[in-house]
Amino acid sequence: MRAILLAGGAGTRLRPLTYTTPKPLLPVCNQPFLERQLTWLGRFGVTDVTLALGYLADPFVTHFPGGTFGPMSLSYAVEPEALGTAGAIKFAAEQIGVGAQERIVVCNGDVLTDLDLSELVDFHVARDAEATISLTRVEDPSRFGVVPTDSDGRVRAFVEKPPPGKAPSHWINAGTYVLEGRMLDRIPYGVNTSIERETFPKMLTQDGRLLAMESSAYWLDVGVPNQYLQAHHDLLNGRLGDQVVPEATRDGMGPWRQGEVEAADSASFSPNCLVGGGTTVDDDAVVVMSSLGFGCKIGRGAVIRDAVLGDGVTVESGARVEHSILGPGAIVGAGAVVQQVSVVGASAIVPAGSTQSEARINPPGDFE
């Protein structure tokens, strides 16, 4: 089976991290998020994946120089201009020659899930669907596209961002689809079109066989800072089983380690931490519920709590980083405080003694 993975967005909600790295290549527990998605697809027999790209396309080609990921074959469909979700699917499908009788999987490039893809395909086939949408249940559907269905899974309507308390259902579009090749004829080529807001709703008025399957599988959109942090929490706390981190080990109830770590005897770690190889942690430093990249330097008495640090980050003595994200090579000066979902870009510097709350600190250069 072939899949199209939508990875062309600018990732504006995760800026300044995405000024230098496209969102799907941002690390989650020290592994590029895209690799996690490809591993998930491969688990269900997907052998060929086309990345639908736009923003910062070159880093994807550089990251996969042989056009492969393990046994999986990769290809690239780089949009000449933004085409929306449906337009991107159509463009990619034309590039790889998806036939009318072929069946493909489509998924968004910012969703962490353990959805049983085989179950979704079986549901689709058993009901002779033209397109099938995976649904996930959320407590507050007012920020999402709600998809009410009948007892057989036939989609009855699409309700975009209903007012709080007014949603007809708690089941929302989870961003994974199974599509028959003939369904792609409904999408105009080269036109900016949304599959969620235009193509799927039109199918309801044109008697298309549009189905949706409810799933209780884990699901998280990692495209905003709070949820990017949440993805790390959930992986480190075992909510996705063995998907925690690749090639990591631990001694007893200590932190997960990816290679040799130099830590002072007086440094302390909570068990739900990940520390990349080559990292040094000085006296009296404290690391709690956090993911540290490779080659980080944590100074004396520094506190890292509920945070994500990219590769090569330096946190100087007495500094504190809480519920925040530091891009690769960032430096937090001595005694500084970074807190309340602050996001620090690659190689950016937080001045010593300063306090950053809900801050966005750009990397060096012109990124306004």
Residue 3 — very low, low, confident or very high, per pLDDT cuts 50/70/90? very high
Mean pLDDT of 19-32: 94
pLDDT digits 0-9 by tens, 209-221: 999 999 999 999 9
Query: The whole model's pTM is what?
Result: 0.92
Examine the pLDDT at 252 and tell me if it is beyond 80. no
With b meaning 16 or more CB within 10 Å and e meaning fewer, what string describes 182-196?
Answer: ebbebbeeeeebebb
Residue 241 — very low, low, confident or very high, per pLDDT cuts 50/70/90? low
34: tokens are: 């895209």
Topology of domain 2-227, per CATH?
Spore Coat Polysaccharide Biosynthesis Protein SpsA; Chain A (3.90.550)
For residues 194 and 83, give the distance between their C-alpha atoms in angstroms, rounded to a whole number.
Answer: 8
For residues 339 and 324, give the distance between their C-alpha atoms in angstroms, rounded to a whole number.
Answer: 6
Examine the pLDDT at 243 and tell me if it is beyond 60. no
pLDDT digits 0-9 by tens, 90-146: 999 999 998 888 999 999 989 999 999 999 999 999 999 999 999 999 988 887 888
202 is catalytic: no
What's the chain's length in residues? 368
Topology of domain 247-361, per CATH?
UDP N-Acetylglucosamine Acyltransferase; domain 1 (2.160.10)
Would you say 22 and 118 are in contact if contact means Cβ atoms under 8 Å apart?
A: no
Domain extents in the chain: 2-227, 247-361
Closest among 280, 244, 243, 250 to 264, alpha carbons compared: 280
Closest among 238, 299, 296 to 272, alpha carbons compared: 238
pLDDT digits 0-9 by tens, 298-348: 999 999 999 999 999 999 999 999 999 999 999 999 999 999 999 999 999
Label residue 13 exposed, middle or buried (CB < 10 Å: 0-12, 13-18, 19+).
middle
How many CB atoms lie under 10 A from the CB of residue 152? 7
- The confidence score (pLDDT) of residue 368 equals 63
Q: Looking at 161, 166, 202, 297, which residue is catalytic?
A: 161
Examine the pLDDT at 183 and tell me if it is beyond 70. yes
Would you say 293 and 309 are in contact if contact means Cβ atoms under 8 Å apart?
A: yes
